[in-house]
Amino acid sequence: MKQRQVIIDRSRCVGCGLCSRVCVAHNIAVSGQKAGTIGDACIFCGQCLAVCPQKAISMAGCGDGQVEKKGDVRLCPDAVLDVIRFRRSIRTFQQRAVPREVLEQVLEAGRLTHTAKNAQDLSFVVLDRERDRVEGMALKLFRAVRPIVGRFSPLARNSRIDDHFFFFRAPIAIAVLAENRTNGVLAAQNMEFVAEANGLGVLYSGFFTMAARASRKIKQAIGVPKGKQVAMTLVLGYPGVKFLRSTPHRELDARYL
Ligand SMILES: Cc1cc2nc3c(=O)[nH]c(=O)nc-3n(C[C@H](O)[C@H](O)[C@H](O)COP(=O)(O)O)c2cc1C
């Protein structure tokens, strides 16, 4: 990989100090009306270049180019809350393919997700052609361990592990891989929002995630690299069911201290 580097164009810099103010690593200082890097603690989060009014900062070896903000993107809070209120786990899907451009937008939501220490450790495995084969591997594992797990868990004892127990005949499943599990789960949530905005229904397959984490064979089949884990698996497709109202939730449990 190309060496990552923050580059400050001193001829453009006016020494306003905004870059230094947003630098979480305290890696930029202004001296003599010009900003400069002062250490090697940079996490390459890019906030310095995103805030610079002079476009004086760039980064080498850090991936894609930047997009100028055209205006403030602000969603209506009530609408956002309704999206959260009315989203449901979907387990019945239409047998309709997910268009490539929709899939790419969902993956883009994952790619752009923020990560702890700006690790950008996310990758994605789209289970399309291999979906049934991989689901079959997870089924084999779950069916083998069920008699043992079922002794302790009524859920495992009572659940029917049918041939579509993990992916519910959905056209696509996406395994989200990450070094840090929290990063992967955050990506999954962002991907769900974009999927829903495209009219897709989503299920978090915790069970498949569990199987993939436990099985070396599944990890091999889907290509989980060393150091990464399956953080979450999203099952996606056009919903075959329409929910008419929200579902009961426990009362808010929050304290102000
Ligand atoms: C982390 C996580 C893992 C889940 N795993 C599964 C799963 O493997 N299979 C399944 O049928 N549902 C799974 N679900 C769906 C939950 O059962 C569901 O979110 C919950 O019952 C509430 O229903 P709702 O999502 O429709 O509001 C999972 C949900 C979450 C958040």
Nearest-angstrom CA–CA distance, 155 and 153 = 5
Contacts for 201 with CB less than 8 Å, ≥ 6 apart: 88, 90, 93, 195, 236, 237, 238, 239, 241
Q: Which ligand 1 atom lies nearest to the CA of residue 232?
A: 1
**Pocket mutation for ligand 1, best pick of 155, 161, 203, 247 (most atoms within 8 Å of C-beta):** 203
Q: How far is ligand 1, taken at its centre, from the CA of residue 187, in Å?
A: 16
Average pLDDT, the chain: 95
Q: Give 50-97 pLDDT, tens digit per residue.
A: 999 999 999 999 887 789 998 888 899 999 999 999 999 999 999 999
Atom of ligand 1 nearest to the CA of 206: 5
| Stated pTM of the model | 0.94
Query: Ligand 1 in contact with 181 (CB < 6 A)?
Result: no
How distant, in Å, are the alpha carbons of 3, 5, 55, 124, 223 from that of 59?
10, 5, 11, 25, 30
CA 54, CA 56: separation in Å to the nearest integer?
Answer: 5
Q: How far is the CA of 208 from the centre of ligand 1 (A)?
A: 12
Which of ligand 1's atoms lies nearest the C-alpha of 243? Answer: 26
Total residue length of the chain: 257
DSSP 8-state assignment for residue 118: G
pLDDT tens by residue, 136-173: 999 999 999 988 888 888 877 888 899 999 999 999 99
